[in-house]
Structure 1
Amino acid sequence: MTAVPVVRAADSERDQRRAAGALRAAGVRRGDRLLVSAASSPALVAVVLGALRTGVVPVVLDPALPAAERAGLAADADAALDLGDDPAALLDGGPEADLADVPLARPMHYTSGTTGRRKGVWSGVLTEDDARALAAEEIGLWGFGPADRHLVLSPLHHSAPLRFAVHTLLAGGEVLLPGPFDVARAAEAITALRPTTTFCVPTHLQRLLAHDGVDWSSFRRLVHAGAPCPEPLKRAVIAAAPPGSVWEFYGSTEAQFTVCSPEDWLAHPGSVGRARPGRRLETDERGQLWCTVPRWARFEYWRAPEKTAGAWRGDRVTVGDLGRVDDDGVVWLDGRREDLVISGGVNVYPAEVEAVLDAHPGVVESAVVGVPDTEWGQRVVAAYVGDADPADLASWARDRLSPAKRPKSLHPVAELPRTTTGKVRRLDLPDVLDLPSGPARG
């Protein structure tokens, strides 16, 4: 098989010290932001951890972002140093610096808001006690240890894949980086390299199950999240993987809420488990989920105090999802915010896609919706009013949107469905376009 980069804790620690030394020499200090937008690599992991263990906050962006979108986020992040796509530039063998035992901060990831405007999730520099508690919680929850080999299947610019990789290394384990997801390469890595843990989204699971010859027997924790997992797919994965290995969690870029063991899921199919240790979930009068979190899990939206205020009530936080908590403490999701599309585990906000389509000279207005897709969970579909050629509009979107956000089909219409007050009814679009609606079936 093609060689897969293996990140070993001891080797990475040396590179982390080099990265920390280079940051210090460049004048980057505790609490500053470090911008990087690179593909997953041992160098990226070392730079992120070297920064975190000296109190510098990495801002890890998708390397596939269109130039204009990246420039906007870079300006907003106001980083002390921008590495572009070359994290290895910090590992040239210069002076090394001491590292804290655990990360002193969380990375700042950007997440879209309900208006489509991305928001930075900022936790600042943690106290020593909170930093230790944060690391201990993640390592303890998944039982990471020196014998673990963690397989990375999702890009490290997403929060969960990076979190799993970082804490595996902190626990002394190894991280396998086979590159962008390819089902044949992933299947080969699973069978040949015998990983013990992985994080994935349901799309990965579906593709791997459909691929012949995957040997699942090495996994002790196969953890999925990022999008709803159809019940038939979940049952098939539980049947294929070792007993007790298939776990799920519900969370977001901002915060982590639940964990679901296979036993809990089999007893409550379709649920997302129970509150993580140290947390409590409840709903408000609108059915919106709120979670009481420990001190080290607090955050604010970067330079958006009004959005921060709307997300918090004391030590309770919400990301706007609707659900319920039954009498046994089991959490059920009744739906995401109505305009959110989750495609392959990536959150896509229609307003962001619509803004790009509406900028085309041949488009008067557009509306975007997610429709069920057995492979991706949902796919992005757009309707528009105007005389733009669909192929030309698709090319326009391709140049301005990252892959997950690009509409998979574009439909010219005479008018968009609206409420009596004039608002576009995105959820009526599937009927207007004669497309399927409701949950995807696996």
Structure 2
Amino acid sequence: MPADLARTVLEACARHPDRVALLDGLGRPVRFSALRSRVLAVAAGLRTRGLEPGDRVLFAVPPSPTSLALALGVVTAGGVLAFADPRAGEAVLTARAALLAPRWAIAASPVHALAGRPWRRLGDVTHVRVGPWLPGVPRTSVSWRGVSCQRRGVADTERPYSSVDHEAYGDHDAPALIIPTSGTTAAPRLVVHSRAGLGAGLAAFAARVPFGPGDVVHTDQLMIGLPALAGGATWSLPALGARASRLGRVLRRRGATHTFCVPADVETVVRGGLPPGLRGVLLGAAPVLPGPLRRLRAAAPDAELLAIYGMTELAPACLATAEEKIAHTDGGAEGDLLGTPLPGVDVRVVDDELRFRAPHQAVGYYGTGDESGVADTQRLRRRAADIASGDLGRVLDDGRVVLTGRRKDMIIRGDRNIYPGLYEAAVTDLPGVREALLVGVPTPAGDEHVVLAVAGTAPSAATVRRLFGVDAPDEVVVLDELPRGGRSRKPDRAALRDRLTRR
């Protein structure tokens, strides 16, 4: 039987009932038996309240044992989980909610106050809140505990094992997860994954990074934490708002064996110190350059340092060790070594662009002008037969992949992908703004300094915060005219980036 996200995790819970599955933000343990019981209780409760396979569930709950149980419960019940970042700008949230037309919305109580109108405007939606009722939360909302078919006071281990419980409702090839990626404010692009594809991704990652009982993996990354659980390891969750400077102390206190770090945080993490027993550090979400790797190697000499390359449509795709990447650069070779493709990942180059195909790739995109949406899985699968990465590169004779440039406009800052098309139209609509471009200027750490360039009048700081949310630019510059190029004299993003880099 093919791998399946929900079943893979639930079977791991059944194999290791007495081991610690999770450490929450405060370091409190949750056992595998408790996690399994909560997931199944949520799934049963949602179906009792009317959730049908294929129902889209807008989801905005910060990482925690509760959010994991709810997310896995939705998938097990046959729902389609659609992540929504409440920190995004109002225009983006409104557009995505309108496109998805969810039947359910599960959100932490503060989200309604933080995200504002987009959540309150959702029509004909069953609202599930996590936390107490607060002003702004719909009065018709129900507590997640009220949804869960788990009685208070009943021990988690009292739920008997049944393999039937681990079979999620609906077709395991049907959509299960929707994650936002590039697009415009009017028509955001949303990537669709199936339970089977996500399960295959866990298996591919585990084949290269085999977590097991006794390992403690500290990360907020879903596609690292879930493989840890599948292997019987403990997933340690950072506290909300955790600072990179304190990572070493948290790892030491939790007894962590592995952790995840974005390249932009390496300097801060190294200054804060790392525990001597650390066995592995995973880096990703942005280009991983040799400089930060050298500094991290000096701070954690016994740890395996692995750079992960992937994209929303296919994560992960390739892995490279620190030694491989440093040797590639020191040898004078061109480009950034992305490493060896994971098992099952096929890479080819078309017009200098890297294209990927793998069992764990997305089945397609939602909201591409087809009213049948995610219901037509076969059509989605045909559309996603080959994943165009938007990255330029080549494949070496030994099968390893090298990145030589980027074709797409995406900006990478910290652990966030920022897509200019989501915001530029909204900025241009502001009074006094004739044109706007959002670009990323590379920094020595491999991060990007985000600059909004406008021709006309600069928007106020409050307006920028409202439109961009957490993706707000680091700097706003006003120019008489934006650089132009080509026969059509369109604003030239590359020329603007070059001009700002040479300042």
Range with greater deviation from structure 2 (201-210 or 255-264):
255-264
Q: Could you tell me how far 1:136 is from its partner in structure 2?
A: 2.6
Go from structure 1 to structure 2 and tell me whether the alpha carbon gap of 1:425 and 1:64 turns closer, same or farther (over 3 Å shift).
same
Q: Which one of 453, 466, 488 corresponds to residue 383 of structure 1?
A: 453
Q: 1:122 aligns to what SS in structure 2?
A: strand
Cα contact 1:371–1:436 (8 A) shared by 2 = no
Give 2:149's aligned residue: 95
CA–CA distance in structure 2, aligned partners of residues 311 and 377 of structure 1:
33
Give 2:283's aligned residue: 224
- 1:96-135 deviation digits (Å, cap 9, x = unpaired): 5964278956522111148995322113454xxx675444
Q: Which one of 425, 428, 437 corresponds to residue 358 of structure 1?
A: 428
Give 1:301's aligned residue: 365
Go from structure 1 to structure 2 and tell me whether the alpha carbon gap of 1:293 and 1:116 turns closer, same or farther (over 3 Å shift).
farther
State whether structure 2 residue 233 is matched by structure 1 residue 162: no
Give 1:200's aligned residue: 261
Give 1:289's aligned residue: 354
State whether structure 2 residue 406 is matched by structure 1 residue 341: no
CA–CA distance in structure 2, aligned partners of residues 398 and 372 of structure 1:
23
Q: Could you tell me how far 1:6 is from its partner in structure 2?
A: 4.2
Give the residue type in structure 2 aligned to 1:425.
D
Give 2:46's aligned residue: 23
Q: Which one of 67, 74, 78 corresponds to residue 51 of structure 1?
A: 74
CA–CA distance in structure 2, aligned partners of residues 50 and 336 of structure 1:
38
TM-score (norm 1): 0.84
Go from structure 1 to structure 2 and tell me whether the alpha carbon gap of 1:17 and 1:335 turns closer, same or farther (over 3 Å shift).
same
Cα contact 2:210–2:231 (8 A) shared by 1 = no
Q: Could you tell me how far 1:191 is from its partner in structure 2?
A: 2.1
Cα contact 1:7–1:174 (8 A) shared by 2 = no
Go from structure 1 to structure 2 and tell me whether the alpha carbon gap of 1:73 and 1:110 turns closer, same or farther (over 3 Å shift).
same
CA–CA distance in structure 2, aligned partners of residues 384 and 314 of structure 1:
36
Q: Could you tell me how far 1:138 is from its partner in structure 2?
A: 3.1
Give 2:231's aligned residue: 171
Give 1:324's aligned residue: 394
- 1:365-392 deviation digits (Å, cap 9, x = unpaired): 1122111234571011122111x3x4x5
Go from structure 1 to structure 2 and tell me whether the alpha carbon gap of 1:17 and 1:136 turns closer, same or farther (over 3 Å shift).
same
Cα contact 1:8–1:174 (8 A) shared by 2 = no
- 1:161-198 deviation digits (Å, cap 9, x = unpaired): 11222232233322222222312432321122121222
Cα contact 2:89–2:469 (8 A) shared by 1 = yes
Give the residue type in structure 2 aligned to 1:195.
A
Q: 2:409 aligns to what SS in structure 1?
A: coil
- 1:302-361 deviation digits (Å, cap 9, x = unpaired): 132689999978843212221111222121111222522111132212222322321221
CA–CA distance in structure 1, aligned partners of residues 437 and 60 of structure 2:
30
CA–CA distance in structure 2, aligned partners of residues 368 and 66 of structure 1:
15
Q: Which one of 413, 416, 420 corresponds to residue 479 of structure 2?
A: 413
When the two chains are superposed, the root-mean-square deviation of aligned CA atoms in Å is 3.1
List alignment gaps of at least 5 residues for structure 2. 1-24, 109-128, 132-142, 151-158, 330-335
TM-score (norm 2): 0.75
Give the residue type in structure 1 aligned to 2:328.
H
State whether structure 2 residue 454 is matched by structure 1 residue 400: no
CA–CA distance in structure 2, aligned partners of residues 181 and 373 of structure 1:
23
**Structure-to-structure mapping, 1:228-307, within 5 angstroms:** 228-243=287-302, 245-256=304-315, 257-269=317-329, 270-284=336-350, 286-294=351-359, 296-304=360-368
Q: 1:24 aligns to what SS in structure 2?
A: helix
Give the residue type in structure 2 aligned to 1:287.
D
Give 1:144's aligned residue: 211
CA–CA distance in structure 2, aligned partners of residues 310 and 319 of structure 1:
17
CA–CA distance in structure 2, aligned partners of residues 51 and 176 of structure 1:
22
The share of aligned pairs that are identical, in percent, is 27
Give the residue type in structure 2 aligned to 1:268.
H
The higher radius of gyration belongs to 2
List alignment gaps of at least 5 residues for structure 1. 155-160, 438-442
Cα contact 2:79–2:176 (8 A) shared by 1 = no
Give the residue type in structure 2 aligned to 1:151.
H
Q: Which one of 3, 9, 27 corresponds to residue 4 of structure 1?
A: 27
Give 2:241's aligned residue: 180
Give 1:440's aligned residue: none
- 1:193-229 deviation digits (Å, cap 9, x = unpaired): 1212222311222320132x332x3333311111112
Give the residue type in structure 2 aligned to 1:351.
G
CA–CA distance in structure 2, aligned partners of residues 252 and 41 of structure 1:
24
Give the residue type in structure 2 aligned to 1:329.
G
CA–CA distance in structure 2, aligned partners of residues 18 and 310 of structure 1:
31
State whether structure 2 residue 490 is matched by structure 1 residue 423: yes
Give the residue type in structure 2 aligned to 1:378.
E
Q: Which one of 64, 74, 83 corresponds to residue 87 of structure 2?
A: 64
Q: 2:460 aligns to what SS in structure 1?
A: helix
CA–CA distance in structure 2, aligned partners of residues 131 and 200 of structure 1:
22
- 1:12-60 deviation digits (Å, cap 9, x = unpaired): 2222122112211221123322211122221111111222234322112
Go from structure 1 to structure 2 and tell me whether the alpha carbon gap of 1:164 and 1:102 turns closer, same or farther (over 3 Å shift).
farther
Go from structure 1 to structure 2 and tell me whether the alpha carbon gap of 1:374 and 1:87 turns closer, same or farther (over 3 Å shift).
farther
State whether structure 2 residue 133 is matched by structure 1 residue 73: no
Give the residue type in structure 1 aligned to 2:304.
S
Considering fraction of residues, name the structure with more strand: 2
State whether structure 2 residue 99 is matched by structure 1 residue 32: no
Go from structure 1 to structure 2 and tell me whether the alpha carbon gap of 1:250 and 1:94 turns closer, same or farther (over 3 Å shift).
closer
